[in-house]
Structure formats: structure tokens, C-alpha cells
Amino acid sequence: MNTIHGSLDVGRHFGEVHMEALMKAAEKSHETVAFMAYLTKTITGSNQHIYFDDVKLNLGNGYNRHHGTFVAPVNGTYQFTVTACTAPSHYIVLEITVNSSTLGKVIAGDLIYSDCSSKVFLAQLQAGDDVFVQHRTTGDYLYAAPVFGFPSFTGVLLQAS
């Protein structure tokens, strides 16, 4: 009788451990991932990786301001927004890049006025994928106005997969 009772206790314990593991996995798959970062200094020139250095939100710790890169913590569908700004008589094209492939571009510029432009991007990412913003050769002036929170780079996990 003790053997059966002992086996049941072991089975019950195994079931509890298994359930805890399943619950932890479920929590991980529904992990909140979101970040919002601003640029605090105007950048001129070309061929630059943009380091959005004023991080306002970093749930899941995916964005690294020292590297200017978001690293996906989980597989899933993500939404990113990039805002670019310029001063009068300037323009800029920023690229959002996943690993080494361009996901898309945003352009801002006007002859008479300061101009900002935003664009939303969707991407299916694997855990460990790098996402960053860069300025290659088109345009020459990325205007920063920290008091207004632009330019900016934001991202959010829409659905884990």
C-alpha cells in the first residue's frame, strides 16, 4: 500500500512540476515586449547607425541604447515605427534593418519648413534577430528635438509564435 501511495505522490509531484513548466512556457509566449526610444542629438553626414539614446520604455529589455539595436527576445510578429525629422532645406532617408536586410525606409524633408515623417513596419522575427535604424547615403541632416520626442524608434510584440 505504501508503494502505491508513494507512486501516486511521485506522479502527483511530476504532474505539478510539468504544469508549472507549461505555465512558465505559456507566460513566456505571452511576454510583454515593447520599447520607445528618442534621439537626443542632431546627426549630420551619412553612413551612420542611429543610436536612439533616450529610452522611455523597454519592457522585455529588447532594446540596447548603447548599440542602438533591438534584439527580439521571442519569436513573433512585431510592429516598429520610425520617425525621421529634418530642418528646412534638408532631407533624410532612414532605413530600418533586420539583421542585414532592409525592411523599409522613411523619408523626411522640405525646402521651407522643418519636417517630420513616420512610418509603421511589420516583421515576423525569430528570437535573436537584430533590428536597427541606419542612415546610409541619401540626405544629410537628422534633426533631433528631445523636448518633443523626435526622431524616435519604437517597437512592440503583437503576437508571439
**What pLDDT is stored for residue 141 in this prediction?**
94
pTM score, whole prediction:
0.80
The maximal CA–CA distance of the chain, rounded, in angstroms, is 90
145-157 per-position pLDDT tens digit: 999 999 999 999 9
Q: Which triple of cell numbers denotes residue 15?
A: 504532474
**Average pLDDT over every residue of 15-24:** 47
Using CB atoms within 10 Å of the CB of residue 54, give its burial: 0 to 12 exposed, 13 to 18 middle, 19+ buried: middle
